[in-house]
Every structure is written in C-alpha cells, then in structure tokens.
Amino acid sequence: MANEKIFVDERKQLIVELLNKEMKKTVADLCDHFSVSPATMRSDLRELETIGLLKRTHGGAISNKKMIYEPNSYEKEIENIDMKKQIASKAIDYVQDDDVIILDTGSTTYELAKLLPTKKNLTVITYDFKIANYLDENSDAIVIFLGGQLRRHFHCVIGPLAISSIKDLNADRAFLGANGISVSKGLSTPNLELATIKKEIIRISDEVIVLCDSTKFGKSSFAKFSEVLECDLIITDEMLGNESISKFADAGVDLEVSK
C-alpha cells in the first residue's frame, strides 16, 4: 500500500508538470500517457483541482501554472532579497555556539548561512552545496554534506541516498524553508523528494524553525511536508498582514515578525 501511495503521488506531480509544459491535455491523452483508466485520471484531476494546481475542463484539464511555479536558484536569490535578509537577521539569534544545526536548501537559509561565521564551534548539516561551499570558505564550522542525486538548477541533492545520509543523525535545531504556508494546508513544496527530506529533517531535530517570507503565506504547493503546529517557531518579515498574523496566533502557532 505504501508503494502504491508513492506511485500515485508521483503520478500527480508528473500530471502537473506535463500540464505546466503543454498547458492543456484531454483525459484520453493523460490516460494514454500514464497508462491508467479514465476513472482514475478523473479522480487525480479532481484532487489536483481541489488544491489549486490545475483547472478541469470538459474532457480534460488546463494548467494553473502560477500556483505551482518554482523559481530556479538564481531567481530565488534575487526575489524578495531584503525580506530574506531581514528574516535571517532574526534567525541568527536562535543559533548558539556549539550547536548542531541543519540548514535546508533555499535562498533564505543561504542568507542565514552568511551570518554563521559569527558563531563558534558549529556543526552544520546541509544538502545545499552552495551553503556548504560558503561555509567551507568563510567559517570554521564543521560541515556535513549529505549525498544524493543532484537536483539540477537548484544546487541541492535529493533522492534515497540523501534520506539514508540523514536518518541516523540528530540536531539541536533545524532551519527550514517552504514554498507555501497556511494554517489549513500546512507547509508545502513543489517537489515530492524535497518534501520527504524535509520530513526527515523535522523528525531528527529537537527544534524546528521555519524561515518564510510574507509572500508565501496563504499559499500551498504540491507536496505537504508538515503541519504548522509541528514547527516550534515561524519567522517572517514585517510585510505580513495583521489578518494573517491573527490567523496563525489563533491556531496556536508561535510566529515571530522580524523588523
């Protein structure tokens, strides 16, 4: 059953990726492409429409690309950079000398990595080779880099080897990113394999701190990896609206706004 669930999730991701590339497809085309029955494909399309990843049409589906688009690493680095620096400046307060920390892949965690040379005797676990390279050249931290398959254009590794590299480790705290965050749909990312790594990071960490700029709030992406209440703290920037702040506070989420 577990293998079947993984296959179903992978198929749904591939459906979205195909639609984002070709913009529209008929149910018949999708059935031929994925070798499933029309009933199965219609069920997949209904679920994907429910979470906003496509729009169903008579006899098929069209892309809702704006909901799933994931910028490449360069685009992420220049997007909302002031917000990310602001968040990192608050996050560094939660790093102590002698800590073992995990840095998720991403542009906000990269901004945090730039501040780590001010700390002593750190051990940093990461699967983002840009972060690892920066720390290697600019800090005295012990850097543990996870193995795995290169995720092209995103300077990180994914896959079973990355999971096996991390599963027996332990960390004082983890700093995670997300492409979408909401009270009802939790934390999410466009990539299933990234979601699996993030779940494992949460499992092995004593404390989980999410670094998420205000543009990600109220949005959801393809693969959910955590409920918001599974995280100890969420740090965001001052552009987050009062309505969103109140919604997270009412849900019992510890949210800190960096100013």
Asked whether residue 78 carries a pLDDT value surpassing 60, the answer given is: no
Q: Are residues 63 and 81 in the same domain?
A: no
Beta 60-63 vs 149-151: how paired, if at all?
unpaired
Q: Are residues 214 and 170 in the same domain?
A: yes
The Cα–Cα gap between 221 and 196 comes to 14
The predicted-structure confidence for 185-239, as pLDDT tens digits, reads as follows 999 998 889 999 999 999 999 999 999 999 999 988 888 999 999 999 999 999 9
Q: Are residues 183 and 124 in the same domain?
A: yes
Q: Are residues 25 and 135 in the same domain?
A: no
The Cα–Cα gap between 88 and 82 comes to 10
**How many domains does the chain divide into?**
2
Confidence category of residue 12, pLDDT binned at 50, 70, 90: confident
Q: Are residues 134 and 155 in the same domain?
A: yes
Q: Are residues 207 and 111 in the same domain?
A: yes
Q: Are residues 98 and 210 in the same domain?
A: yes
pTM equals 0.75
**Under 8 Å between Cβ of 248 and 187:** no
Last residue of a domain, one of 67, 86, 110: 67
The Cα–Cα gap between 148 and 132 comes to 14
Q: Are residues 104 and 214 in the same domain?
A: yes
Q: Are residues 47 and 112 in the same domain?
A: no
The predicted-structure confidence for 113-162, as pLDDT tens digits, reads as follows 999 999 999 999 999 999 999 999 999 999 999 999 998 788 999 999 99
The Cα–Cα gap between 97 and 188 comes to 30
Across 42-54, average pLDDT: 85
Asked whether residue 73 carries a pLDDT value surpassing 70, the answer given is: no
Closest CA to 156 of 183, 204, 194: 194
The Cα–Cα gap between 98 and 75 comes to 33
Across 96-102, average pLDDT: 98
Range of the domain at 28: 2-67
Q: Are residues 150 and 198 in the same domain?
A: yes
The predicted-structure confidence for 151-170, as pLDDT tens digits, reads as follows 878 899 999 999 999 999 99
